[in-house]
């Protein structure tokens, strides 16, 4: 087990080497949430109810999706395709270590670093917007956790599949980018889906689900 | 003493299906819709055996199939046909017990974490290979000493020179004291001094740990210095397996005589002894090199000493590159 823990540690060290790009990465996720919150705050200036959502409910929604986003959609597998294509993956296959175990420990390390910084950023945003939180009902919390865990697993598997593009091409960003746009939209990262017109909701539920 | 071979390769084949692009832009566009595939026989029916403690040189031109063979032996590629056994294991099973006993070093790739000091990779490998603390300490100290790299272990790998990096690569690969070592062009791109350092090191490692080594290289000096036995492959086929000296004897038809004269000689007088490769007569130095058939070399040398004012005479083997070129040109052995 120790080897997997060590891999996670090296992964963290490696992520923190380039301070500038690390900061930019965090700034991007911070700004994206900041913009969402600003837009919705502006909309609620002159009305208390938009699409059946009160201002606290909407802001709570944005805060919660920001946390879920960094928990579920973060991944260390972006480099997998390139590693396969370049053959760099060989070194891991040569060693007496479980390759999947290695990928999983890196994935968890990546999620850990993401969630730690995301929580820090969210605290900062909380100080700026000072929303009153409306939390989801607590009787569904177990189902919620289960659902998040499944989301993490499914996302991991989908990224493994994108990684196999590396058998043909070094670059998996094209299809991945499209996929992420679709995910952010259909998973309601930007706003709750039930504010969309009925027809679009129908399409999404037919096509995606 | 009878010794079991530690590496056995029988009728190994490894073929790749690659698509063939027609030339030009039109070819590229056509290939978007329809592709022609062809089979590359990277390794085509090769057999050999290697005993413990041997250092064997794999010689062959670019694309001959050297790397592919090493990858099959390491369990990275599945053979198209044939049987392979290393240390009694089938490499493709990728058993931990097998993986703990060998290492593959590729001169063109690195396993070290690029943005971290080499020491971090060493510690990770220690954990992965489950090397006990004491043994790790001992091996690391020894390797660091032999390669003289104690200063650079805590510097980011990307800031090291190619030679320093290669030394660290070797250490990372050897920390678990592998019994079998595959070196794929370990000296590529290094300067002559560094090449020599690494060669000395490989020799020392082989002695110290009785390790079996397969080495591929472009540089004939590597092979000449390290390997008694050479396996020559060309276009996936094995065309020679034996003592390096035997190839030299068989294919080096000539020897080189280099001469220093005490006073001026006429070129014409030299001609009857052999083919003149070099002839310079200026100021106070009069030198020449001539090619003579190897059987007659000694005879010619004594004739020369008798007939011409010779100050110094040397009989040399032709460079091994030239010999190997001749092996390839002749097609088979
Ligand atoms: N993964 C691969 N896919 C397709 N062709 C390959 C692959 N690996 C090697 N080859 C081909 O196999 C032949 C032998 O390659 P290689 O073993 O790397 O040669 P060497 O190491 O002797 O220079 C070359 O023609 C090369 O293009
Ligand atoms: Mg090669």
Residue B333 pLDDT greater than 50, yes or no: no
Task: Classify domain B5-249 by CATH number.
Answer: 3.40.50.300
B169 Cα to the center of ligand 1, angstroms: 23
Half-sphere exposure of B184 (CA within 13 A, CB side): 21
What is residue A130's predicted lDDT score, i.e. its pLDDT? 82
Pick A3's closest partner by Cβ from B116, B120, B127.
B127
A103 Cα to the center of ligand 1, angstroms: 28
Q: Is B186 in the pocket of ligand 1 (CB under 6 A)?
A: no
Percent of chain B topping pLDDT 70: 97
Name every residue in B having a CB less than 8 A away from some CB of A: 71, 74-76, 94, 96-97, 99-100, 103-104, 106, 109, 111, 113, 115-116, 120, 123-125, 127-130, 156
B65 Cα to the center of ligand 2, angstroms: 7
Percent of chain B topping pLDDT 90: 46
Query: Domain limits of chain A?
Result: 2-208
CB-CB under 8 Å, A14 with B113:
yes
Stronger pLDDT, B246 or B42, i.e. the higher one: B42
What is residue B88's predicted lDDT score, i.e. its pLDDT? 93
Confidence category of residue B330, pLDDT binned at 50, 70, 90: low
**Atom 26 of ligand 1, residue of closest alpha carbon:** B63
Lowest mean pLDDT among A7-16, A139-148, B1-10, B32-41: B1-10
Q: Residue B5's beta-bridge partner residues?
A: B51
Residue B331 pLDDT greater than 70, yes or no: no
What is residue A208's predicted lDDT score, i.e. its pLDDT? 63
**Minimal Cα distance from B110: which residue of A?**
A88
Residue A209 pLDDT greater than 70, yes or no: no
Residue B332 pLDDT greater than 60, yes or no: no
Lowest mean pLDDT among A25-39, A108-122, B275-289: B275-289
Stronger pLDDT, B185 or B61, i.e. the higher one: B185
**Atom 18 of ligand 1, residue of closest alpha carbon:** B67
Q: Is B67 in the pocket of ligand 1 (CB under 6 A)?
A: yes
What span, in angstroms and rounded, lies between the C-alpha atoms of A182 and B217?
50
What tokens appear for A196 in the block?
């969309």
CB-CB under 8 Å, B99 with A10:
no
Confidence category of residue A58, pLDDT binned at 50, 70, 90: confident
Q: What's the order of all strands across the beta sheet hosting B36-51?
A: B36-51, B5-20, B81-86
Query: Domain limits of chain B?
Result: 5-249, 254-316
Stronger pLDDT, A169 or A146, i.e. the higher one: A146
B210 Cα to the center of ligand 1, angstroms: 31
What span, in angstroms and rounded, lies between the C-alpha atoms of B246 and B230?
10
Instruction: Write down the mean pLDDT value for chain B.
Output: 88
What is residue B2's predicted lDDT score, i.e. its pLDDT? 53
Backbone angles phi, psi at A199, to 5 degrees: -60, -45
Query: What's the alpha-carbon Rg for chain B, to the nearest Å?
Result: 25
Q: Which of B113, B122, B109, B244 is nearest to B188 (CA)?
A: B109
**What count of CB pairs under 8 Å joins A to B?**
52
Tell which CATH classification among 3.30.70, 1.10.760, 3.30.420, 2.40.160 matches the domain B254-316: 3.30.70
Residue B41 pLDDT greater than 90, yes or no: yes
Average pLDDT, integer, range B80-84: 94
CA–CA min distance B282, chain A (Å) = 55
Pick A97's closest partner by Cβ from B74, B75, B128.
B128
Q: Is B62 in the pocket of ligand 1 (CB under 6 A)?
A: yes
For A120-166, how does the pLDDT look when each residue is reduced to its tens digit (9 = 90+)?
Answer: 999 999 888 888 888 878 888 899 999 999 999 999 999 999 999 99
Lowest mean pLDDT among A84-88, B24-28, B63-67: B24-28
Lowest mean pLDDT among A69-73, A125-129, B169-173, B315-319: B315-319
Residue B33 pLDDT greater than 70, yes or no: yes
Return the HEC string of A70-88.
Answer: HHHCCCCHHHHHHHHHHCC
What is residue B42's predicted lDDT score, i.e. its pLDDT? 93
What is residue B21's predicted lDDT score, i.e. its pLDDT? 74
What span, in angstroms and rounded, lies between the C-alpha atoms of B221 and A32?
59
Q: Is the dihedral of CA A141, A146, A149, A154 positive or negative?
A: negative
CA–CA min distance B116, chain A (Å) = 7
């Amino acid at each position: 087990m120790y080897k997997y823990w060590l891999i996670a540690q090296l992964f963290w060290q490696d992520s923190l080497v380039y301070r500038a790009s690390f900061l930019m990465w965090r700034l991007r996720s911070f700004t994206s949430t900041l913009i969402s919150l600003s837009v919705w705050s502006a909309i609620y200036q002159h009305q208390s109810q938009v699409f059946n959502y009160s201002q606290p409910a909407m802001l709570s929604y944005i805060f919660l999706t920001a946390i879920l986003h960094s928990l579920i959609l973060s991944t260390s597998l972006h480099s997998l395709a390139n590693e396969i294509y370049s053959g760099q993956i060989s070194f891991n296959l040569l060693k007496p270590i479980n390759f999947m175990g290695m990928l999983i420990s890196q994935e968890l390390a990546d999620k850990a670093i993401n969630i730690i910084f995301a929580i820090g950023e969210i605290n900062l945003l909380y100080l700026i917007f000072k929303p009153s939180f409306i939390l989801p009902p607590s009787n569904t919390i177990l189902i919620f956790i289960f659902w998040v865990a499944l989301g993490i697993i499914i996302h991991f598997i989908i990224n493994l599949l994108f990684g196999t593009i590396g058998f043909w091409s070094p670059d998996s960003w094209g299809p991945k980018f499209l996929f992420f746009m679709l995910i952010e939209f259909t998973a309601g990262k930007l706003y709750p889906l039930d504010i969309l017109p009925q027809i679009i909701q129908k399409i999404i539920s037919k096509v995606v689900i | 003493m009878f010794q079991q071979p530690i590496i056995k390769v029988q009728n190994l084949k490894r073929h790749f299906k690659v698509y063939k692009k027609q030339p030009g832009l039109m070819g590229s566009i056509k290939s978007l819709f329809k592709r022609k595939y062809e089979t590359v026989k990277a390794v085509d029916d090769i057999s050999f055996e290697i005993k413990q403690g041997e250092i064997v040189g794999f010689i062959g031109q670019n694309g001959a199939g050297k790397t592919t063979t090493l990858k099959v032996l390491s369990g990275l590629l599945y053979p198209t046909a044939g049987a392979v056994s290393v240390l009694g294991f089938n490499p493709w099973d990728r058993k931990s017990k097998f993986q703990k006993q060998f290492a593959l070093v590729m001169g063109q790739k690195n396993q070290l974490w690029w943005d971290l000091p080499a020491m971090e990779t060493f510690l990770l490998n220690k954990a992965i290979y489950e090397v006990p603390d004491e043994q790790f300490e001992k091996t690391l100290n020894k390797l660091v000493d032999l390669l003289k790299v104690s200063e650079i272990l805590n510097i980011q790998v990307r800031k090291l020179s190619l030679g320093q990096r290669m030394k660290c690569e070797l250490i990372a690969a050897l920390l678990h004291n592998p019994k079998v070592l595959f070196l794929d062009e370990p000296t590529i791109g290094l300067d002559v001094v560094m090449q020599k350092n690494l060669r000395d090191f490989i020799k020392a490692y082989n002695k110290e740990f009785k390790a079996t080594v397969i080495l591929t290289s472009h540089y004939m000096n590597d092979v000449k210095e390290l390997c008694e036995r050479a396996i020559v492959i060309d276009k996936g086929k094995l065309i020679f397996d034996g003592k390096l000296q035997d190839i030299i004897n068989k294919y080096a038809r000539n020897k080189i005589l280099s001469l220093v004269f005490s006073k001026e000689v006429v070129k014409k007088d030299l001609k009857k002894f052999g083919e003149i490769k070099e002839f310079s007569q200026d100021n106070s130095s009069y030198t020449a090199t001539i090619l003579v058939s190897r059987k007659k070399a000694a005879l010619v040398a004594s004739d020369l000493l008798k007939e011409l004012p010779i100050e110094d005479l040397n009989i040399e083997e032709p460079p091994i590159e030239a010999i190997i070129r001749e092996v390839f040109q002749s097609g088979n052995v």
